[in-house]
């Protein structure tokens, strides 16, 4: 018996040195995959930021309202969400490497088409090429891919790779602000289209993920037969999708309109771009915390906490007018909202079998990105109607309250189920 215990101890020590646990699918290859994913997404997410930073000059060049250009950015979210439903299925069949390479090529082509200089080209390039075929083949499949590499620290890993959006937000707005002045928005799009080629060799380094059956659930007591949280699985899915839409409407407003909002207040576009970088930089910095929290209290609890922080920050945007105050609110907003979307994915993986992730996760992302698209467009439409952004931020706070009600209901169901599970095993 002593020999067996000693052998087991040696095996556990060797597993620890290898960076994994004996009963876990995680190892060093898991973190290599996550690092590659964040690099790929940090590059690809820059494509949709050009119209955000260049909102005013592009609208002027096309002789259109701001809501017209803002709609192009919104269509990227719609395209990415809807394309992810198809591309999640495709990635399961042809592999994530080919899917990601295809998405990179389509994103570059979308920027080239958008640079033609017509509204129809801007919409087609962003909605179909950058969004549906580009982002749809990049973000949702990568989330599913990474979620299958992790079981113990899934929340941390998903938070990390989702930070690609914020790494892009830290790097690209200031770069684009300068290139928009030096060479114009069309040349900026063409130049970044060429830069996206870097994704191809990164994608070739991606290894196949462990099979879905090997990944254990984080909270198996939540799924019982045909129920999740004591409800039908598709009812829980629908509630999560509704919550995702409601929280993403306000989430899109500052990130899509902050530069233009600052310009209206007399703050220079360069400072507005820097403020956007601060917002997204703080979001990146806080992602580690939100991932850590999701690994400890679960996806639903993390969504609830993050959404509450977002509601307070979006309300603060509606009453803040000075530059220093807006930098502070932007930082607080970035710190608060950044863990919400990865936490939704963690919740899906906790509540449903791994084999269903390839369609449940993209559907959740689709409805969430519809909220991002609607929020981006809605803020522009309210600005065109009222001439200032305060009504848009106030409306965003109301949408956020709706999200808190839905998630609060699910958290109560989760807590009740946990108590029943403990009582049944006592």
CB-based burial of residue 35 (10 Å sphere; 0-12 exposed, 13-18 middle, 19+ buried)?
middle
What pTM was computed for the model? Answer: 0.72
Does residue 227 surpass a pLDDT of 80?
no
| Cβ–Cβ under 8 Å, residues 361 and 144 | yes
The answer, yes or no, to whether residue 360 has pLDDT greater than 70, is yes
Residue 15 has pLDDT above 60, yes or no: no
Cα Rg for the chain, rounded, in angstroms?
22
Handedness of CA 172, 173, 177, 178 (dihedral sign): negative
Q: What is the mean pLDDT of residues 66-78?
A: 82
Phi, psi (degrees; rounded to nearest 5) at 224: -130, 105
Buried b or exposed e, range 126-150, using 16+ CB within 10 angstroms:
bbbbbbbbbbbbbbbbbbbbbbbbb
Res. 249: pLDDT tops 80: yes
Q: Which CATH class is domain 31-425?
A: mainly alpha
Q: To the nearest whole percent, how much of the chain has pLDDT over 90?
A: 33
| Residues 168-196: tens digit of each pLDDT | 877 888 899 889 989 999 999 999 999 99
User: How many Cβ atoms from other residues are within 10 Å of residue 120's Cβ?
Assistant: 9
Residue predicted with more confidence, 200 or 21: 200
pLDDT average, residue stretch 344-372: 86
Domain ranges for the chain, please list them.
31-425
Residues with Cβ < 8 Å from 144, sequence gap 6 or more?
88, 91, 357, 358, 361, 362
80 contacts: CB under 8 Å, gap ≥ 6: 131, 132, 134, 135, 136, 138, 139, 140, 365, 369
pLDDT at 3 over 60: no
| Tens digits of residue pLDDT in 297-338 | 989 999 999 999 899 888 888 888 888 888 888 888 888 887
At 62, the pLDDT band (50, 70, 90 cuts) reads confident
pLDDT, position 64 = 82
Q: Is the pLDDT assigned to residue 23 strictly greater than 80?
A: no
Please tell me the predicted confidence (pLDDT) of residue 425. Answer: 61
Q: Which of 306, 264, 352, 267 is nearest to 162 (CA)?
A: 306
Residue 12 pLDDT grade (very low, low, confident, very high; cuts 50, 70, 90): very low
- Check pLDDT > 50 for residue 216: no
Q: Which residue's entry shows tokens 């640079």?
A: 115
């Amino acid at each position: 018996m002593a020999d067996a215990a000693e052998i087991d101890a040696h095996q556990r020590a060797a597993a620890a040195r290898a960076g994994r646990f004996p009963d876990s699918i995680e190892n060093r290859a898991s973190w290599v995959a996550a690092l590659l994913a964040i690099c790929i997404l940090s590059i690809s997410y820059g494509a949709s930021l050009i119209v955000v930073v260049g909102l005013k000059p592009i609208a002027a060049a096309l002789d259109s309202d701001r809501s017209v250009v803002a709609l192009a950015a919104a269509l990227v979210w719609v395209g990415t969400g809807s394309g992810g439903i198809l591309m999640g299925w495709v990635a399961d069949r042809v592999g994530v490497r080919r899917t990601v390479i295809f998405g990179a090529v389509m994103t570059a082509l979308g920027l080239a088409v958008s640079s033609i200089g017509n509204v129809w080209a801007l919409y087609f390039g962003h909605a179909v090429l950058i969004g549906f075929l580009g982002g749809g083949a990049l973000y949702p499949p990568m989330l599913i891919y990474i979620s299958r590499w992790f079981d113990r620290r899934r929340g941390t890993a998903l938070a990390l790779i989702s930070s690609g959006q914020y790494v892009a937000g830290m790097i690209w707005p200031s770069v684009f602000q300068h290139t928009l002045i030096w060479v114009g928005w069309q040349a900026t799009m063409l130049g970044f289209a060429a830069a996206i080629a870097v994704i191809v060799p990164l994608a070739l380094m991606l290894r196949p993920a462990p099979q879905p059956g090997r990944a254990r659930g984080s909270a198996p007591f939540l799924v019982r037969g045909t129920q999740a949280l004591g409800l039908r699985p598709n009812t829980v899915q629908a509630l999560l999708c509704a919550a995702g839409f409601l929280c993403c409407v306000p989430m899109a407003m500052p990130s899509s309109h902050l530069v233009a909002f600052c310009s209206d207040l007399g703050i220079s576009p360069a400072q507005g771009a820097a403020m956007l970088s601060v917002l997204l930089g703080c979001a990146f910095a806080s992602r580690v915390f939100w991932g850590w929290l999701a690994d400890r209290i679960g996806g639903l609890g993390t969504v609830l906490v993050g959404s509450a922080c977002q509601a307070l920050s979006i309300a603060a945007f509606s009453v803040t007018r000075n530059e220093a105050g807006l930098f502070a609110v932007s930082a607080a907003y970035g710190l608060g909202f950044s863990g919400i979307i990865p936490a939704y994915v963690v919740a899906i993986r906790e509540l449903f079998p791994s084999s269903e992730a390839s369609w449940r996760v993209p559907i959740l992302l689709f409805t969430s990105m519809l909220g991002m698209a609607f929020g981006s467009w809605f803020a522009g439409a309210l600005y065109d109607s009222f001439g200032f952004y305060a009504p848009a931020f106030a409306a965003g706070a109301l949408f956020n309250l709706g999200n808190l009600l839905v998630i609060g209901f699910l958290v109560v169901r989760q807590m009740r189920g946990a108590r029943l599970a403990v009582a049944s095993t006592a």
